[in-house]
Structure 1
Amino acid sequence: MSNSLPESIRLNKFISDSGFCSRREADRFIEQGCVKLNGKTVAVGAQVFAGDEVRVNGRLIAASAADKSDRVYIAYHKPVGITCTTLQTVQGNITDAINHPERIFPIGRLDKDSEGLIFLTSDGDIVNKILRAENGHDKEYVVTVNKALTPEFIQKMSIGVPILDRVTLPCQVQMQSRFVFKIILNQGLNRQIRRMCEYFGYKVVRLVRTRIMNVSLGNLPVGHWRNLPAEVIAEINRAVSGSTKVATNVAARTSKNSAKSGKNPQATKAIKKDAPRPRTGRGNKSPVKKEAPRNKGRTSKPRR
């Protein structure tokens, strides 16, 4: 292991910085007893020191190098039916769909029955930064519903909708056509848009994520991916760092104010009209895999 390691580093960060997986996935590996530190099973929160040996499922994890020029950052147009997980046991998982030569993992999630833009990378550090700042950056979607839209629906969607025992944050909503609207969120609740629509009696027929922060889906075909250029990565890092600091400051002020008032800022009343939680389970069919060209390019289909 490299001697460039700081005096100590949390085990999950050490694993994610190596490019093996995200910190959240690292914590799951640790909780499942799949991680050995110097030959011994350890708990979440363990520290790694220079000279320590870390293995995940028997695979030696190398310390992260300071130079990240070899890290992979891609934008992928996820098709419907692909699950945003790296677990090989899940049929239609995103890593098998892309079949990238490097070990990469998704940043955030996009529902199996939704399509559109999602980032994947081998840089565990940026994954953690983006996930920590998940509620601080824009995500844009184009949504098709099963019945005609009304000005009232657009207005109520934009001011906040009671779902999951809370009210969603205000957002930008714009009607595109009779059945299609665009929505920009800076919040990431589970199946948020679908639940918001269901609250008003609408069913989502199609949901496409078209933008994350400064990166747009553009004309990237379904099932294809493209590399993100260095300047875009730098801009994402700057945006994420700024939103993380703002979120931390807001949380600190909120905590301080609630301590003075004796109120819990997260306490909300249960909403009776909330849509039921979706049932989990795999679909009956997996998407048809596409044959991909072998030549490398800025835009690429999955390689088979």
Structure 2
Amino acid sequence: MTEAKRLSRCLIEAIGCSRREAELYIEGGWVTVDGEVVDLPQFPVQNRQVQLLPGAKAEPPEPVTLMLNQAPGLDETAALASITPQSQAAAFDIGKRVLKGHFRQLRCLAPLQPGATGLQVFTQDWRTARKLTAEFGKLEQEYLVEVQGTLQADGLERLKRGVAAKGQALPPVKASWQNETHLRIALKAPTPGVVAQLCTAVGLTVVSLRRLRLGGVSMGKLPLGQWRYLGPQERF
């Protein structure tokens, strides 16, 4: 019985490239085994057809940032586990080849408010990670807040000026009604629970909280539980 070989070895023998080139081709999603893309250089191959796709480049794959419309009841770990090739939003397909490597070493550096759903960001791109780490406090976050209760007189103006709750001064925010039961609130560097405190201070109780935007990046009409790639022209 013939012993299985590593995919990288099979590619080296097939096209005469170096080991490093073989690894780059494979990790970049340019190599198929019996017609299916395999991006693991150590993948065992035995009596199967290995091919290099047209246009292949022996370059490291570009790191990615993924935007998820996080469903209710998920923490960061469960939200990350929900990101699979099958849960990509078809309507937001920008033509980027989906690689298994895109789901490795993802970090969440822009946490949602406690109990919130909506826009969650996972990245393996050091440039995005640096931006979110160094400037997170400067990025405006916009939430759609479902509320119940009766807004106090001049409640929106008070939110815009800044209110006090239990002797603590809360920051001024941008606030407007989207409809009879939903407020849009935008603020920078929200501390845990601050949106609920803001609403309570003007007579409202938060029913649900959904992040719509982080800095200059909006979730748009991304379906619940699905994800998309950060576009090349989008900037936080």
TM-score bracket for the superposition, by shorter chain length: 0.5 to 0.7
Mapping 1:239-278, distance limit 5 Å: none
C-alpha separation in 2, matches of 1:155 and 1:69:
49
Secondary structure of the 1:81 match is: coil
Identical-residue share of aligned pairs (%): 24
- Whether 1:176 aligns to 2:178 is yes
Q: Which runs of 5+ in 2 are unaligned?
A: 1-58, 85-101
TM-score, scaled to structure 1 = 0.48
Which residue does 1:212 correspond to in 2? 214
> Size of the alignment, in residue pairs?
161
Which residue does 1:195 correspond to in 2? 197
Which residue does 1:106 correspond to in 2? 108
Mapping 1:1-304, distance limit 5 Å: 70-84=62-76, 86=77, 93-99=78-84, 101-163=103-165, 166-232=168-234, 235-236=235-236
C-alpha separation in 2, matches of 1:155 and 1:132:
31
Which structure carries more relative contact order (alpha carbon 8 Å, separation 6+)? Answer: 2
Q: Check whether the contact 2:173–2:185 (CA below 8 A) recurs between aligned residues.
A: yes
Shift of 1:71: 0.5
C-alpha separation in 1, matches of 2:203 and 2:161:
17
TM-score, scaled to structure 2 = 0.60
C-alpha separation in 2, matches of 1:151 and 1:68:
58
Change (3 A) 1:183 1:107: same
Larger Rg: 2
Q: Which structure shows the higher strand fraction?
A: 2
C-alpha separation in 1, matches of 2:133 and 2:171:
18
Shift of 1:166: 4.4
RMSD (Å), alpha carbons: 2.4
Q: Check whether the contact 1:211–1:217 (CA below 8 A) recurs between aligned residues.
A: yes
Amino acid at match of 1:152: D
C-alpha separation in 1, matches of 2:125 and 2:166:
32
Shift of 1:167: 2.3
Shift of 1:210: 1.0
C-alpha separation in 1, matches of 2:143 and 2:103:
30
Change (3 A) 1:163 1:73: farther
